Amino acid sequence: MTSHYFENALVKLHYYKFGTGPRTMLCFHGYGMHGKQFLLLEPALGNKYTFIGFDLFFHKETKLHDQSLSAIKNPITKHAFAELIKEFCAFENIDRFSVIGYSMGSHFATVVVEEMGEHVDEYIVAAPSSINPGILIKAFGKYKLGNKLLGRFTQSERALINVLNFSRKVGLIDNVGQKILYKEIDTPELRFALYASFTYLRLFETDEDKLIRTLTEQNIRSIFIFGKRDAMYPPRIGTKFLKKLSKAEVIILDKNHEMIDKEFIAALAGLLL
C-alpha cells in the first residue's frame, strides 16, 4: 500500500493505492473511517484490481483549501465532485473504473455513476444509505432548521450525546452506529467535521431515475450489499428501488451496520472473481 496526494483548486485529496491488478476500483469509505477501510480487499482481489481508497472530505488527511464555516455552508454540487474525479482520473491516467462505497461512501459512489456513468464498469454499494438516507441525514442536512439545530448541537458534546441516545432509543440508529458516532464527537474538531459532513454534502441526494437510467443504458454491473441486522439501512430500504433494476445483484449478510470484514470480502470476491 502506498500513500499519495492529488491537489486542485478545491482540495488537497489524500488517497491510498493497493493491489496490482489491471482494473481500477475507486473506494469511498463510511463516516468516521478512512481510505484504508477497503484494504481487506487486496488479498482476495488485488490481482484483478488496483484499488484507490480516498480519505473523503473532513476525514483524516484530505483538506479543503477553505474549510471555513462560510465555505462549508456553500455545499459542493454533484457536478463539481464529478469534475474533481475527472481531474483525478486524468492525473492517474485512468479511463475506466469501478466504484465501491460503504454507508456514507455510497453517496459519493452514486454521484460518480450518475455524472460519469460512461466510464464505470461496476457499481458496488454496501449499507447503501444513498437509497434511503433516513430522517437524520435529511433533517440535519437538507432542512434549514434542522441544519441550524445541528450547528448548535455540535457546540456541545453533551448535546450530541443526548441526540444520539434519543436516536438510538427510537430506532433511527443502532448500537453500532451509536458507538461509531460517539467516537466522532469527543473533540471540537470532530464535532465540526460532523456538522461539515452533513452540511457540505447535502446536495448528494440520489436522483433515482437518473441512476437507474445510467446503470441500464451503460450496462453497469450493480451489486448491493446489506446487513440483515443493520437497523439503519436494512435490506427493506432497497425493495422498491431494486425492482426497477433488471440486473441488480444483492447480497444479504448476517451482519449489523459494521460489515466490512472477512465474510464481506469472501462474499464479494465470490461475485467478482
Report the amino acid identity of residue 141.
G
Give, in degrees to the nearest 5, the angle at Cα 143 between 141 and 144. Answer: 100
Please state, for a pLDDT cut of 70, what percent of the chain lies above it: 93
Residue range 225-248: mean pLDDT, rounded: 92
Extract the C-alpha cell encoding 198: 452533513
**Would you kindly state where each structural domain of the chain is located, as residue ranges?**
2-133+204-272
Q: What is the CATH number of domain 2-133+204-272?
A: 3.40.50.1820
Q: Round the CA-based radius of gyration of the chain to a whole number and report it.
A: 18
pLDDT bin (cut points 50, 70, 90) of residue 166 is confident
pLDDT digits (tens, 9 = 90+) for 182-221: 676 778 788 888 889 989 999 999 999 999 999 999 999 9
C-alpha cell read off for 191: 464535532
Residue 171 DSSP symbol: T
CA distances from 254 to 128, 174, 235, 251 (A): 16, 15, 11, 10
- DSSP bridge partners of 11: 64
Q: Model-level pTM?
A: 0.92
Q: What is the pLDDT of residues 16-33, one digit of tens each?
A: 999 999 999 999 999 989
